[in-house]
Amino acid sequence: MKLPIRVILIATIASVTLAACASKTKPPPPVADNTTQTDRTTTAPDNGGKYKVGDLDTDSCLRQRIVYFDFNMTDIKPQFQAAISCHAAYLRQFPTARVTLEGNADERGTREYNLGLGERRGNAVSGALGSAGASTSQLNTVSYGEERPVCKDHSEDCWQKNRRVEIVYTAKQ
């Protein structure tokens, strides 16, 4: 008689535990889009597709030349898509322009791992530029791994600044 009671007791505990673990969270309500045309940061500005060579230093979208990444990630964050679109449009307009994509990592991890991670990040930006219309012959990727930090503190804020790809124009037209 003890065995069936144990089985029933274990089954009851298991079902109560599973019921308690069931997700009861509701998805967040949709956020209303209250942005105006002047404060959007995720879409490329409408310039009619016409850039001038001097726009690299004056256009706010083209001046954004650093793409930051999360820890051990190579996915491009949505807030950098507009800048990538602007650079791709510039590269489409000026086929003789050339870009070097300098991949970087923070100090954590081995030297070899960080060199590989910097290369994967550079390739991710290269792929995004190519998908947006830039010619792959205009793009060169190099990885510096952890060798060129912009911040040398040992904190998350500092490491976050070092996880990046820098877009460097080697030929502007």
Q: What is the pLDDT of residues 52-103, one digit of tens each?
A: 878 888 999 999 999 999 988 889 999 999 999 999 999 999 999 999 999 9
CA–chain centroid gap for 90, Å, is 20
For the whole model, what pTM was predicted? 0.71
Split at pLDDT 50, 70, 90, the class of 36 is very low
Residue 141 identity (one-letter amino acid): T
pLDDT digits over 116-140, tens only? 999 999 999 999 999 999 999 999 9
- pLDDT value of position 38: 34
Point out the least confidently predicted range of 22-31, 59-68, 78-87, 146-155: 22-31
Q: Which fold has domain 54-173?
A: 60s Ribosomal Protein L30; Chain: A; (3.30.1330)
Q: Ramachandran region of residue 111, left (φ > 0), alpha (ψ -120 to 50) or beta?
A: alpha
Alpha-helical runs (H) found in 107-164:
111-131, 156-162
Please measure the distance between the N-terminal and C-terminal CA atoms of the chain and give it in whole angstroms. Answer: 88
